Structure 1
Amino acid sequence: MQTLEFAHLWNSTDSIGRAVALLLFLMSIASWGVILGRAWDVWRLRRCLPAALARFWNAPSLETGYQQLRQTPCGRLLAPLAEATLELDPAARRPDYDHSGQLTRSLRQALTEVTMYLESGLTLLASTAAVAPFVGLFGTVWGIYHALLGISRASSVQLDVVAGPVGEALIMTAAGLFVAIPAVLAYNFLNRANRILMAAADGFAHDLHAQATTGEAWRPSEPRRPRVVGG
């Protein structure tokens, strides 16, 4: 009875089967790197968000608040929005220019930058979740074909001669699912977390726009903090 050990599986397959196994291994390493890195970023952002917003709005000036944001883990999420507002300081504006429209465009560009940051790695996870099962299925089909060729050359056919190679080939399908399932779960989790963080960034941009377009000097205050729920 053949044992399903890795060395035996590796030696019993051909170069195409080994290439499929290596591809699944690389896809798994890449997706887990994205999963762990993005999960760490999301945890840090959601943990520091309330305190970072409170420190920003209690800062003595917009520039001081911006510098404080850059020193926190939330800098990648909120600092681009504060920087877009800081570049349009009311004291330096021309009275004949549509400052509200200019600020809106700058904040929209900053929100696009924040969105790109939050969505980094999601394309890899989506591609892995969609492709890995088919890569594993291809490995299974090729392994069964390779096994049938070997069986056709055998002088006698017994159950273990057929079941062993076919069972080994089916492991490729299981490997594809093993790679795809964590990617699917992580993709859904990160998508929901990104929606919550983007809602907080959008609210922050709205508050900045309201503060900057009033024409009044910066006054430290603490607006309503966004509620960052679990999930």
Structure 2
Amino acid sequence: MDVTATNAMGFAHFITQSDLVGKFLLAVLVIMSAASWGLIASKGLTQYLRSKRSAAFLDFFWNARSLDAVQAELSTHGARDPFSHLSAHALHAQAHHARHGAARLAEAGTANDFITRTIKKVLDEETTRLDTGLTTMATIGATAPFVGLFGTVWGVYHALLAIGMSGSGTLDKVAGPVGEALIMTGIGLAVAIPAVMAYNAFTRSNRVLAARLDAFAYELHSFLTLGEAPGAAALQVGANVRPLKPAAAVTA
């Protein structure tokens, strides 16, 4: 094969020579790649903002003088992260049960039971929100290599048919078309690898955040029901954990 023929081979030549199935498979991989990188960018930005806002709220929460101060902060700036969202719902549940009691079936039980159910519901909502988009990312990472492999098999099949019809089976006639067909496998791997890496990173980050949120929920529940952190009564004088005053009960 001369230099001109060698230069003619490549990605552009492969695309122009591909049939409808090959072009469709390539379009599917392009869509997968765009969706994957879109999710990576959006979830990465969301994770950064969530981490920054959570750190700011937790710093305020643990330095607040009472839960009334926390309630005032939430009323002023709203809940913009999982920890403040959980706190807002838990404080609202406490005030609502103190004001109305168990007026409905959803509020049945003691204030402790109602707050516990509210916290669990918010934890489930936050876990679901954290997992948004991960299924799509995992699907792309798992299927993109196979889509690319199918494109390679399809391309090799048609390349061999063309070589057989030409009656020439020399290496210079076989290597070019078969090598071009392998491009699809490379594209499939290029789409899958970032998706799998991002999926693993986001999954680990979500697992760590869920564990921190669960621990915070336990502390928050104790503040709302007991007025102090778990085990605070057993702390020695001078310890760096001090009880918070519970929010003032709302009367009718």
Query: How would you bin the TM-score normalised by the shorter chain?
Result: 0.7 to 0.9
1:1-231 map, 5 Å: 1-2=5-6, 3-57=8-62, 58=64, 60-67=68-75, 70=78, 75-90=80-95, 91-92=98-99, 94=101, 97-214=109-226, 217-218=246-247
Displaced runs of 4 or more, over 4 A: none
Aligned-partner residue type, residue 54 of structure 1: D
Q: Where does structure 2 lack aligned partners over 5 or more consecutive residues?
A: 103-107, 228-244
Q: Kindly state the Cα deviation for residue 213 of structure 1 after the two structures are TM-superposed.
A: 1.1
Partners of 2:224 and 2:142 in 1: how far apart?
A: 45
Q: 2:241 — aligned with what?
A: none
Aligned-partner residue type, residue 69 of structure 2: S
Partners of 1:65 and 1:205 in 2: how far apart?
A: 18
Against the structure 1 CA distance between its residues 4 and 78, is the aligned structure 2 distance closer, same or farther, given a 3 Å change threshold? farther
Against the structure 1 CA distance between its residues 143 and 29, is the aligned structure 2 distance closer, same or farther, given a 3 Å change threshold? same
Q: Kindly state the Cα deviation for residue 203 of structure 1 after the two structures are TM-superposed.
A: 2.1
Against the structure 1 CA distance between its residues 62 and 48, is the aligned structure 2 distance closer, same or farther, given a 3 Å change threshold? closer
Q: TM-score, normalised by structure 2?
A: 0.78
Partners of 2:221 and 2:73 in 1: how far apart?
A: 15
Task: Using the aligned pairs only, state the percent identity.
Answer: 40
Q: Where does structure 1 lack aligned partners over 5 or more consecutive residues?
A: 220-231
Aligned-partner residue type, residue 199 of structure 2: Y
Alignment length, in residue pairs? 216
- Kindly indicate whether the alpha-carbon contact (under 8 Å) linking 2:141 and 2:192 is maintained by their aligned counterparts in 1: yes
SS at match of 1:89: helix
- Kindly indicate whether the alpha-carbon contact (under 8 Å) linking 2:94 and 2:115 is maintained by their aligned counterparts in 1: no
- Kindly indicate whether the alpha-carbon contact (under 8 Å) linking 1:56 and 1:68 is maintained by their aligned counterparts in 2: no
Aligned-partner residue type, residue 20 of structure 1: L
RMSD: 2.2
- State the structure with more CA Rg: 2
Q: Kindly state the Cα deviation for residue 51 of structure 1 after the two structures are TM-superposed.
A: 1.9
Q: TM-score, normalised by structure 1?
A: 0.84
- Kindly indicate whether the alpha-carbon contact (under 8 Å) linking 2:151 and 2:185 is maintained by their aligned counterparts in 1: yes
Q: Kindly state the Cα deviation for residue 61 of structure 1 after the two structures are TM-superposed.
A: 3.2
SS at match of 1:87: helix
Q: Kindly state the Cα deviation for residue 62 of structure 1 after the two structures are TM-superposed.
A: 4.1
Partners of 2:101 and 2:30 in 1: how far apart?
A: 59
Partners of 1:79 and 1:54 in 2: how far apart?
A: 11
- Kindly indicate whether the alpha-carbon contact (under 8 Å) linking 2:127 and 2:210 is maintained by their aligned counterparts in 1: yes
